[in-house]
């Protein structure tokens, strides 16, 4: 077993290609408003002390361990099965997408953020850097949000995915913060 401390940018291969695949035995996305609130509050705390002009003093925040198992290649894309950390990694990727969407495609950081989420030269499932399970329609909704393929869809099951709710909550949170004068690039650097 190998343990190392990585920033989120490195987890998502600093814009390079990778795929984190959630095994079907994993539970569906289960975080709720209290979890999303705590996540945004953590970002706000780091944002408040982060000085982009002093990279030597970048605050660190421990998000917990990710447990992954090498699952070979899909074409040329390295695949890692995400055994532990799916709620956090899904939320972080939704936060990055929400921030990119609030900024819009004309913003200079939009493309950098999108590179954390998408394997640009790929199609199908390998296009995404993270694939949730299919439970509650999580994967389809996630792909619609991250892929920018139109409005998120509603899962055709009795229980609805919380992924769309998380995305909307995070998007609203970033929209509010940016309208209050907080800096988008600083948020990106805090998450990354």
Per residue in 76-103, pLDDT tens?
A: 999 999 999 999 999 999 999 999 999 9
98-141 pLDDT, tens digit per residue, is 999 999 999 998 999 999 999 999 999 999 999 999 999 999 99
- What residues have CB less than 8 Å from 27, skipping those under 6 apart? 133, 135
Structure tokens at 83: 């055994």
Structure tokens at 122: 């790929």
- Write down the mean pLDDT value for the chain: 87
More confident residue, 21 or 152: 21
- Percent of the chain predicted with pLDDT > 90: 62
Lookup result for tokens 């539970």: 27
What's the pLDDT score for residue 155?
Answer: 46
| Residue 167, pLDDT above cutoff 70 | yes
- What is the β-pairing status of strands 67-74 and 77-84? antiparallel
| Residue 180, pLDDT above cutoff 80 | yes
Euclidean distance between CA atoms 114 and 148, whole angstroms? 10
What's the pLDDT score for residue 49?
Answer: 85
Residues in the chain: 192
Euclidean distance between CA atoms 75 and 21, whole angstroms? 15
| Residue 57, pLDDT above cutoff 50 | yes
| Residue 176, pLDDT above cutoff 80 | yes
What's the pLDDT score for residue 52?
Answer: 76
| Residue 1, pLDDT above cutoff 70 | no
- What residues have CB less than 8 Å from 107, skipping those under 6 apart? 184
């Amino acid at each position: 077993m190998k343990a190392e401390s990585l920033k989120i940018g490195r987890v998502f291969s600093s814009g390079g290609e990778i795929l984190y695949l959630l095994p079907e035995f994993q539970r569906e996305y289960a975080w709720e408003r209290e979890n999303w609130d705590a996540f945004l509050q953590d970002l706000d705390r780091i944002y408040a002390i982060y000085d982009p002009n002093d990279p030597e003093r970048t605050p660190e925040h421990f998000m917990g361990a990710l447990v992954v198992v090498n699952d070979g290649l899909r074409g040329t894309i390295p695949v890692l099965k995400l055994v532990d950390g799916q709620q956090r990694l899904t939320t972080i990727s939704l936060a990055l997408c929400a921030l990119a969407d609030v900024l819009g495609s004309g913003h200079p950081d939009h493309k950098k953020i999108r590179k954390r989420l998408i394997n640009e030269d790929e199609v199908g499932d390998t296009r995404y850097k993270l694939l949730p399970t299919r439970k509650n329609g999580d994967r389809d909704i996630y792909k619609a949000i991250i892929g920018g393929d139109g409005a998120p869809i509603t899962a055709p099951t009795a229980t609805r995915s919380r992924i769309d709710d998380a995305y909307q909550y995070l998007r609203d949170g970033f929209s509010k913060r940016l309208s209050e004068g907080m800096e988008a690039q600083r948020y990106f650097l805090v998450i990354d």
